[in-house]
Structure 1
């Protein structure tokens, strides 16, 4: 998930440098959404991944 966020961020940066504002804005928006989803899943996995091992 984080990989896709970084890919869209790079696409947004390249598009912005080349002057494609619409594509850069869309790619940056997708990157932001994917990063937020990654953060939420990361925090959830931290909470639910801390179980005691079965005895």
Structure 2
């Protein structure tokens, strides 16, 4: 999950550098959601 978030973050950085702000915004939003899901699952696995 965290690997996908990092991948989307890198894609967002590259797209932002190339001027594709729509793609950069979308991939950054996906990366944020993936990090949030990763954190929730990590906390749940630590508690159980």
The TM-score with structure 2 as length reference comes to 0.99
Of Structure 1 and Structure 2, the greater helix share is in: 2
Relative contact order higher in (CA < 8 Å, ≥ 6 apart): 2
Larger Rg: 1
Superposed structure 1 runs of 4+ greater than 2 Å apart: none
Q: 2: CA distance between counterparts of 1:38 and 1:13?
A: 21
Tell me the equivalent position of 1:23.
Answer: 23
The TM-score with structure 1 as length reference comes to 0.87
1:1-55 residue CA offsets vs partner (Å, 9 max, x unmatched): 000000000000000000000000000000000000000000000000xxxxxxx
Unaligned segments of structure 1, at least 5 residues? 49-55
How many residue pairs get aligned? The number is 48
